[in-house]
Amino acid sequence: MMSRFLSISALALAVAAIAAPAHAQFEARSLRVSSGVAKGHPISFGITKMTQCAADKSGGKLKLVTYYDGALGNDTTASQQVRTGSLDMVLTSTAPLVGAIPQLAVFDLPFLFSNEKEADQVLDGPIGKSFAPKFEAAGLVNLAYWENGFRNVTNSRHAVNKWEDLQGVKMRVMQNKVFLDTFSALGSNPTPLAFSEVYSALETRTVDGQENPIALIENMKFYEVQKYLSLTRHAYSPLAVLISKKKYDTLSPQEQAVMQECAIAGQEESRRVGRAADAEVIAKLKKNGMQVNEVAPAELQRMRDRVKDVYAAQAKVVGEDTLAAVNAELQRIRAAK
């Protein structure tokens, strides 16, 4: 028994001796992270996973402290703070970043992706990685693309079954030209507003409707101020997990590797939770009084036809090369099915 005890003790000491130098490569750091969503949103599960991963792999030295509900500012404000280095990290849709990185607008194009698998392959593959220098030039490092989910239309007037149903509807959209042009082409009256202002604008009928992924519609309780949810799935605007380049450059190679690895762990968790919850979220929205309708495939095609000019206009902004590369990759993915 004594011999066995000594052997176990020796093994424990050996493991500790290996772990100690590894953890010694980490400084005690606390990174502030901004998120516009509330706890309980699938993205928050990814944040929890990323935070725990960073703590585990750094021996508790690398701490991520997340501020939810846009407590540190809306996505546009927080992104600017991360660019200047006054804030460490932000999780934001790519849409508010197009002013600094115009090429990102390609991911906001209407009906670009047919499903989540297409989006994963494009964003996690060479196309997504090709944006790294553009992020860095804007003072940012993108650790991973996470998922917001496909965007859908809600409004307080009537169900949207065809593009004509959007005519005259005052729709809140992101402060992004692609979304403005898309909803103009569909006949609505698009109104750009910061996300923090959306609920009150819907409540006061300053706007009739808005468009967001279903998880966010439920998470932000838009069902309290909106009657109709129409599953248009008109855009897939990915989420970027951004760290200030100024902060990132102060991290050791080991710390940088952990941040990247843990961002991927969070990506996997947020995608898993979000996709598994879709049917459940729709059921909750119905229970809370929303009328939910699918849009017939033929009517979705009519919507796609209406927004073709948005592609032509945005080709000048994102660049013909960027748009051609994304389209070529999508053709490759679809041909491989």
CA dist., res. 305 & res. 12, Å (int): 66
pLDDT score recorded for residue 24: 64
The answer to whether residue 5 scores a pLDDT higher than 50 is no
Q: What is the DSSP string of 248-290?
A: HTTS-HHHHHHHHHHHHHHHHHHHHHHHHHHHHHHHHHHHTT-
Q: What is the mean pLDDT of residues 121-141?
A: 97
CA dist., res. 58 & res. 27, Å (int): 9
Query: Other C-beta atoms within 10 Å of 7: how many?
Result: 10
Confidence of residue 20 (pLDDT cuts 50, 70, 90): very low
Confidence of residue 23 (pLDDT cuts 50, 70, 90): low
Confidence of residue 22 (pLDDT cuts 50, 70, 90): low
CA angle 178/312/106 to nearest 5° reads 45
pLDDT score recorded for residue 15: 44
Burial class (CB in 10 A: 0-12, 13-18, 19+), 106: buried
CA distance between the termini of the chain: 60
Domains and CATH numbers, the chain: 26-98+116-148+238-276 (3.40.190.170), 150-237+279-335 (3.40.190.170)
Question: Which pair of tokens denotes residue 252?
Answer: 């050791």
Whole-structure pTM over 0.85, yes or no?
yes
The answer to whether residue 6 scores a pLDDT higher than 90 is no
CA proximity to 66, closest of 34, 39, 88: 34
* β-sheet bridge partners, residue 210: 154, 172
Q: What is the mean pLDDT of residues 252-262?
A: 97
Is 142 strand, coil or helix?
Answer: strand
Widest distance between CA atoms in the chain: 83
Residue type, 39: K
Spatial strand order in the sheet of 189-192 = 189-192, 170-173, 209-213, 150-155, 228-236, 291-294
Better pLDDT: 194 or 296: 296
Q: What is the DSSP string of 82-129?
A: HHHTSSSEEEEESGGGTTT-GGGGGGGSTT--SSHHHHHHHHHSHHHH
The answer to whether residue 14 scores a pLDDT higher than 80 is no
Q: What is the mean pLDDT of residues 328-335?
A: 96
* Distances 279 to 256, 274, 324 between C-alpha atoms, Å: 37, 10, 34
Residue type, 178: V
Q: What distance lies between CA 327 and its chain's CA centroid? A: 21
Instruction: Identify the residue whose tokens are 């949103």.
Output: 41
